[in-house]
Structure 1
Amino acid sequence: MLDLFPEAEKPVEIIPAKKLSARAAALYAAPPGHFQTRPVKELRLGFDGIWGDFHAGATRRSGGREPWYPRGTEMRNERQVSIVAGDELAIVAERMGLAEIRPEWIGANLVIEGVPHLSMLPAGTLLFFKDGVTLKVDAQNGPCRIAGRSIAQNSGMADIEAGALLFPKAAKRLRGVVAWVEKPGTIKAGEEISARVPEQWIYRA
């Protein structure tokens, strides 16, 4: 087989794919029109995302994360499911001087246990749930002021706006990932997950 990257040059480092075992520790859904989520026992998912959830839909409107489009441009919804890890939220809470940050305060849908450094999962990671659902990770979920303001209000911070501004700094690379539904079905609390991390590389043109 032709070696595309001669050893002497080493322009690209290839990291092999791997599998991880995890668990759906907690599930949440947001009623229509509400950013904050509420605990549920199961999530019913279609190709548009979680049925009835605030972030459901085949498309969404662009915002501050997409400066290359005029705000409000209709685009593909790759943010159907928000996934976080409890250990990462604990770090963010400590940085903000809080006792805790609850997943529902920042609109999370799924808390996963068993994946080290969950927020660093690369795009393309597949999450296979035991009962049949498959989610595909799109990207890290960048922390924003909306979530920060929700945290400040729910935790009783004296200065709400200061809390809103602090969260994006404290939660950088710790706010979890967003994913979209590749194979629909129902996710139940406590369900086993097989995470398949794809082969990775750093692209240097």
Structure 2
Amino acid sequence: MDTLMDIPRQVRTRPTRAQAEEAVRTLLAWTGDDPDREGLVGTPDRVVRAYEEFFEGYQDDPVALLERTFEESGNYNEIVVLRDIRLESHCEHHIIPLIGKAHVAYLPDRRVVGISKLARLVDVFAHRLQIQEKLTAQIADTIQSVLQPRGVAVVIDAAHQCMTTRGVHKPGVSMVTSRLLGEFETSEPLRRQFFAMAGMGGM
């Protein structure tokens, strides 16, 4: 069984760029429009280039990202919180954006990691086809596995355009998910401290 950190197996050989562009042309024609008209003739190329950016997380190794750590931390052993990390991902059910913020915390055990690496880790997993529950777990589990801290806490608050611009059409609704590991799971005072530091004191 794959772990949460694994990149999905390639069931078939990855299509060529030309095949990807042709697939976009097919969808454009399916909508009832003309892929050869002036406004759309360059759209397949633009869509494929956008997909390269949206889903660049498949090219990155999240474990390698966190492997460089620092032990000269002055014996710091309190919560490290990176809050309000901008998050942009795509729902794997409709390939429609979900946009929000991630709050990531860990309790160091001798080692700390550069804060930019935590933000980048969020991006690596967000830039794949996702469901928010899995995304939350992947971020937390990777930090726990690589850094082996005393605890990890991750909360994501995001709006899903698959339910705001289609389907039930409920704008203004966001979904909140969390994963608490180690001491964050077992200590209520520590959980409260995390939520307060992340600006979510009411949770």
**The TM-score by the shorter chain falls in which range?**
under 0.3
> TM-score w.r.t. structure 1 length?
0.21
Structure with a larger share of its residues in helix: 2
Structure with a larger share of its residues in strand: 1
